[in-house]
Amino acid sequence: MLALLLALLLAGCAGVTPVQGAVAAADVASVAVLGRGVGDAVYSGVTGRDCSVVRLEQGKTYCKPPEAPPARPPYCTRTLGYIECWSNPEALPGPPHEVADGPRVLTRAQEADRTRRWPGW
């Protein structure tokens, strides 16, 4: 973004046409609102990845890497007086009920939402 501001300042020396000013204003507004320039938004839309020059300025990669699937939660059961957690519940004889009997994996809709393309298409 600093490079963009410097380019805008230097462009003032040569005279800026209204079209150049509008493009620069749109790019600055896009970075302020979306966190990416107009070119970044187009590239992100085409590739389906979340890409931004702002990420480069922060010392990160241009495009956000895909997220890894969430880790499997531990299998925790109640015993006399305390809670025990197991990494391999299949090894337990007749596995007892968990402390929190909830879903252990993401649903199809949750996985689709987690891996969908940018900007949500």
For residue 68, tell me if it sits in a domain: no
For residue 63, tell me if it sits in a domain: no
Q: State the pTM of this model.
A: 0.52
Q: pLDDT of 91-115, one tens digit each?
A: 777 777 788 767 778 888 988 888 8
The pLDDT of residue 110 is 86
Q: How many structural domains compose the chain? A: 2
Pair 44, 80 in one domain = no
For residue 102, tell me if it sits in a domain: yes
Q: How many CA atoms lie within 13 A of 3 on its CB side?
A: 5
Q: What is the dihedral of CA 39, 43, 48, 53, to 10 degrees?
A: -60
pLDDT in tens, the chain (121 residues): 555 555 555 555 566 677 777 777 877 877 777 778 888 888 888 888 888 888 888 999 988 888 888 887 788 888 888 888 888 777 777 777 788 767 778 888 988 888 887 765 5
For residue 67, tell me if it sits in a domain: no
For residue 121, tell me if it sits in a domain: no
Query: Which domain, by its residues, includes 88?
Result: 75-113
The pLDDT of residue 59 is 92
Q: Where are the alpha helices (DSSP H) in 1-121?
A: 2-14, 18-34, 38-47, 53-57, 108-115
The pLDDT of residue 43 is 87
For residue 64, tell me if it sits in a domain: no
For residue 88, tell me if it sits in a domain: yes
For residue 96, tell me if it sits in a domain: yes
Pair 51, 91 in one domain = no
Residue 50 CA to residue 76 CA, distance in Å, equals: 37
